[in-house]
Amino acid sequence: MILISAYCAVLLSFASGLLALLMNRRDMLLAVKRYAVKTFFKAGHGPDWLGKNLEEQRFPPFLRFSVFVLLGLSGVFAVLAGLGVLIGKTVITDQISLGLPWLPWHVRFDSLSGFFFLIIGIAVSAVSLYGPGYANSYDENRHPFAVLGLFTGLFVAGMLLVLLADDAFFFMIAWELMSVASYFLVAFQHENPANRRAAFIYLLMAEVGALAIILGFGVLAAFSDGFTFDALREAKLSTTWAGIAFMLALLGFGMKAGIVPVHVWLPEAHPVAPSHISALMSGVMLKVAVYGLIRFCFDLLGEVHWQWGVVLLVLGAVSALGGILYAMMQPNLKRLLAYSSVENIGIIFMVLGLSMIFMANGHPQLAALGFLAALLHAFNHALFKNLLFLGAGIIHHQTHQLNIDMMGGLINKMPKTSMLFLIGCMSISSLPLFNGFVSEWLAFQTALQVDVLDNGVLRSLIPVAAAALALTAALAAACFVKVFGLIFLGLPRSQHCEKAHEIQDKGMLAGPSLLAGLCFLFGIFPGLIIGLINNVAGQLLGETLPNDAALSWLWLAPVSSQQASYAPPLVLIGALIAGCISFWYLRRNPATALRTAETWDCGFGGLTSKMQYTSSAFTMPFRRIFRSVWIIDERIEKDMQGAMNQDVAAVHYHLEVQDHSWPRLYEPIEHAVNRLAKLVGRIQTGNIRVYLGYSFVTLIIMLWVIS
Amino acid sequence: MNWLIAILQTTLFVALAPLLAGWVKCCKCRLQNRKAPSLFQPYRDLIKLTNKQPVVSEQASWLFIKAPYIIFSATVLAATVVPLIAVDLPTSASADVIVMVGFFAFARFFLALAGLDVGTAFGGMGSSREMTISSLAEPAMLMAVFTLTMTASTTNLSFAISHVLNEGLVLRPSFVFALAALVLVAVAETGRIPVDNPATHLELTMIHEAMILEYSGRHLALIEWASQLKLMLYGVLIANIFLPWGIADTLGAQALGYGLLAIIAKLAVLSIFLAIAETLFAKMRLFRVQEYLSFAYLLGLLGMLSHIILEAAR
């Protein structure tokens, strides 16, 4: 039953992709309809709705809607399947005779897969509510829906299949399906050269990453008989080979997840894809990479080493801090959100690293705590990052802007969107009462258990990591104050924003509303989801939380109620009481009703939107403090005029902030590749006789080898 | 009964906060050879403000109008977590010290947004500076309290304070570092000299005042009250974590009375130190604040490391 709904989810997403292909085949559909009517209905009339929806005007919206309905159903089935396996704590295996005849695809659906099914299912459901309205805004001639719909379906199916895979072949096929389908989605608006470049970088890094993963599986397979995960689990590796396999997997999955320094594709590719696709890529696809890493390290490799945990911890800390600092400097909203994904993936990796360290040092219960914090953060990040990307899509749809320096004042014009976006910002800034806070709280609780370790290096490293985590959280709050404040508050900075109005499409609000509701729900009742993740930890690590009994809907006390406890419902009640008392008490006097007046302008008159703080002004103190993190090119140019050229006519401010990884890492690689290519080019003379000579020499050598 | 005392303690917290602000001002005036206003002047100011008609900018959104209530509630919630006169109250179990820092972050988030709401340069300036300072101060504060929580192996403030209380006077190097870090953070977060000057409206130096420039009437009263409460919260944290003696560990009337007297005495002495520091030092340049706060961060980290390396039992 559970497996059937999992298969249904995959098939429905395939079906939605295939259905989208019918977009340009209306004539064919008409012919099919005519034939069907002739055979099945004697009266010569088909059902009314069918004929109406095949009319030229109504066909495209109808088809778009149906495609997203199928996709949404796929999401619902994924949620059902995920919940089923999580609650039932079962493991289901199956074989499908697809692919090569002697290599059937092995399927295994356990609670780890089920948990990620749940994440994908929720995200896909929200996206498919949002999708029809958003896809309507594309010009059919330049950006055909068939392409978008087909690859969206394939992309979702690919992600779901990765989670189902139980052998290395099937895993890689699904992985490649996911990567390649998302490449086409990134390249969807290919008329823009920047988009083509972003898509190419993405494809390149995805393939390099896939290569590393294949090699990682290869190392495991060399020590076992076969490519099924069962066989790989049995492999007995020496420490060195296990380390090599781990590094390869880290490179491959880390590249997909966007760990610094292999994150560079992420801020390029996510902003150029359509918003609901960026939401899926950032919110979900990165999680599939996290799944891969967990599956590879905790399940297949089995025995983890604390050194790996240290590697993850350090890489995670660098990604978290680097990601949020880079995010802060971006004026492009979607680029900013993409960098913020780097930060959140960094946090997930950090906590996974902690979990590994505790595991390797013989504290499986604390390892379960860290594991749980990591999975919870993955879940939370999927919710709020999807919410923010969908919100960014609405803003782009209504204002045709993505530059936050050109926005402002949207809170009065788009009240519903602003409320949804505010919830997203509060969740991602990990404020209490929202879901982001809970996972961060658990992460801190994990880090604070460092006392049980014996190793001096670890004992001093983990507090430093906790310090980095605290700094990251505070910087994230600053970053998202900037985002919300500049987009929604203040005066509008451009014509488009002044004329903007609330989105009319109900679905485009329903998708984000679903996610915002879940952000709040799991912020108040985190016990619901933590109980489910606890089952994952139980199945994968063989160990659950130290304090199982304390997991109730009201209390959260992961280690023991003596050590730490948090009761978000009580906090909510307290907040409501305090807020209501002060609100009611202060407003009882009618003589003190609000009076509106002009904003105080220091008596000079005429506040304009140009006088407000901009993104670069807001982040100037940070730029100064963390100077060495970026490559900053800041120039002020003055146009001079008048006698002796002494009057300033205009001032131009120019600011460019760049990532260190390009000049430090990628450009040297690029140069090396170019040099190598030139060396190879020497033997390519373009002369047919030389090439014949090469063939001849090769032939001779081959013959000599054979004899 | 326990809940009743908890609510009483929170009410006491909220009610006494303006008095503390009045006392600090009083000490400061004496030290600077000025005539001090009455101890109860902050109460009079608050009453005056609540009876005035608030003026709101035409550009202001709902966020601007609701923010004072949110800020005040979040600060009151933080006050429920911190033991003032008694430990082992039920409210401190519903949220631990990390959540308390979260409440501060919550209040600050809305304060900064309110600063950006009307679209003046002052508001943006204040918000940007406040977020800069707090994003350095918050981790430093977490480091300092983590030192304590690791010693007591709990993040629950009430249990942690009981732990220090039961252990008696032990001189721990980690606590010295943590105390120093927490004092530095407290000065920065409550907007006192040398980081911010609560008495000035000079445009180039304002931080907190720049954000709330547009507020008036009851909104201003709530924000002022919240910041007085925040000052008291930090004072109580420092006093009760590092010198918890006197706090009631049973819920008898006598113990509670002693607890109240003890905390008033401790806060009175702490405030004198604050007043002396504010009189002796000048406000520093904004871009020196980062050095100050990184120093606090480093002290917090040193505290934690010295706990782990020197003190923790293997």
pLDDT recorded at residue B145: 85
What is the SS3 assignment for A634?
strand
What pLDDT band is residue A472 in, cutting at 50, 70 and 90? Answer: very high
**Does the pLDDT at position A429 exceed 60?**
yes
A181-210, pLDDT tens digit by residue?
999 999 998 888 989 999 999 999 999 999
CA distance A222 to A493: 61
Contact call for A460 and B138, based on CB within 8 A:
no
Mean pLDDT, rounded, for A1-20:
90
pLDDT recorded at residue A46: 56
pLDDT recorded at residue A47: 63
pLDDT recorded at residue A549: 56
Q: Which residue ranges make up each domain of chain A?
A: 662-706
A274-314, pLDDT tens digit by residue?
999 999 999 899 999 999 999 999 999 878 899 999 999 99
pLDDT recorded at residue B292: 92
**Does the pLDDT at position B312 exceed 70?**
no
CA distance B137 to B296: 8
**SS3 track for B121-175:** HHHHHHHHHHHHHHHHHHHHHHHHHHHHHHHHCCCCHHHHHHHHHHHCCCCCHHH
The distance between the two most distant Cα atoms of chain A, rounded to a whole number of Å, is 108
Contact call for B117 and A482, based on CB within 8 A:
no
Residue in A closest to B145 by C-alpha: A448
What is chain B's mean pLDDT, rounded? 89
**Residue A114: partners with Cβ closer than 8 Å, 6 or more residues away:** A81, A82, A83, A84, A85, A86, A536
Inter-CA distances, B58 with A407, B54, B55, Å? 19, 13, 9
Contact call for B116 and A594, based on CB within 8 A:
no
For residue A563, the distance in angstroms to the closest alpha carbon of chain B comes to: 4
Q: Answer whether B69 touches A (CB < 8 Å).
A: yes
CB A96 within 8 A of CB A104: yes
Residue in A closest to B93 by C-alpha: A565
What pLDDT band is residue B29 in, cutting at 50, 70 and 90? Answer: very high
B221-256, pLDDT tens digit by residue?
999 999 999 999 999 999 998 888 888 888 788 888
Q: Tell me how many residue pairs between chain A and chain B have CB atoms under 8 A apart.
A: 263
Contact call for B59 and A409, based on CB within 8 A:
yes
What pLDDT band is residue B107 in, cutting at 50, 70 and 90? Answer: very high
Cα angle for residues A476, A334, A397 (degrees, 5° grid): 130
Residues of B whose CB is below 8 A from A466: 142-143, 146
Q: Answer whether A579 touches B (CB < 8 Å).
A: yes
Q: Which of A98, A571, A253, A547 is nearest to B154 (CA)?
A: A547
**Does the pLDDT at position A550 exceed 60?**
no
Inter-CA distances, B92 with A130, A227, A566, Å? 42, 54, 9
Q: Which of A479, A552, A594 to mutate to test the interface with B (most CBs of B within 10 A)?
A: A594
User: How are beta strands A105-109 and A92-96 bridged, if at all?
Assistant: antiparallel
Q: Answer whether A606 touches B (CB < 8 Å).
A: no
pLDDT recorded at residue A22: 84
CB atoms within 10 A of CB A144: 16
- ipTM of the complex in this document: 0.95
What pLDDT band is residue B104 in, cutting at 50, 70 and 90? Answer: very high
Least confident of A143-147, A689-693, B64-68, B91-95: B91-95
**Does the pLDDT at position A543 exceed 90?**
no
Contact call for B213 and A454, based on CB within 8 A:
no
What is the SS3 assignment for A638?
strand
Contact call for B127 and A485, based on CB within 8 A:
yes
Give the pair of three-digit tokens for residue A228: 């099924």
* CB within 8 Å of chain B, chain A residues 473-492: 473-475, 477-478, 481-482, 484-486, 488-491
A617-630, pLDDT tens digit by residue?
999 999 988 888 88
A525-541, pLDDT tens digit by residue?
988 888 888 888 888 88
* CB within 8 Å of chain A, chain B residues 129-158: 129, 131-132, 134-136, 138-139, 142-143, 146, 149-150, 153-156
Among the partner-chain residues A564, A574, A589, the one whose CB lies closest to the CB of B156 is A564
Mean pLDDT, rounded, for A473-479:
95
What pLDDT band is residue A640 in, cutting at 50, 70 and 90? Answer: confident
pLDDT recorded at residue B99: 92
Contact call for B154 and A464, based on CB within 8 A:
no
**Does the pLDDT at position B314 exceed 60?**
no
For residue B31, the distance in angstroms to the closest alpha carbon of chain A comes to: 34
Inter-CA distances, B285 with B128, B193, B207, Å? 15, 11, 12
For residue B56, the distance in angstroms to the closest alpha carbon of chain A comes to: 5
Q: Answer whether A457 touches B (CB < 8 Å).
A: no
Task: Outline where DSSP puts E strands in B4-54.
Answer: none
Least confident of A139-143, A675-679, B59-63, B254-258: A139-143
pLDDT recorded at residue A139: 74
Residue in B closest to A561 by C-alpha: B93
**Higher pLDDT among residues A46 and A204, named by residue:** A204
Q: Answer whether A547 touches B (CB < 8 Å).
A: no
Backbone angles phi, psi at A149, to 5 degrees: -65, -45
pLDDT recorded at residue A165: 92
Residues of A whose CB is below 8 A from B134: 474, 477-478
Residues of A whose CB is below 8 A from B91: 574
Q: Which of A482, A134, A202, A513 is nearest to A336 (CA)?
A: A482
Residue in B closest to A476 by C-alpha: B135
Element (H, E) at A632: strand A631-641
User: How are beta strands A631-641 and A595-597 bridged, if at all?
Assistant: unpaired
Give the pair of three-digit tokens for residue B232: 């008291």
CB A428 within 8 A of CB A384: yes
pLDDT recorded at residue A551: 62
pLDDT recorded at residue B151: 85
What is the SS3 assignment for B205?
coil
Among the partner-chain residues A411, A460, A599, the one whose CB lies closest to the CB of B120 is A599
B134-168, pLDDT tens digit by residue?
999 988 998 888 888 888 888 888 888 888 888 87
Least confident of A596-605, A632-641, B199-208: B199-208
Q: What pTM was computed for the model? A: 0.94
For residue A617, the distance in angstroms to the closest alpha carbon of chain B comes to: 8
Bridge partners (DSSP) of residue A658 are A631
Among the partner-chain residues B98, B118, B127, the one whose CB lies closest to the CB of A441 is B98
What is the SS3 assignment for B14?
helix
pLDDT recorded at residue B203: 66
For residue A455, the distance in angstroms to the closest alpha carbon of chain B comes to: 10
A382-391, pLDDT tens digit by residue?
999 999 999 9
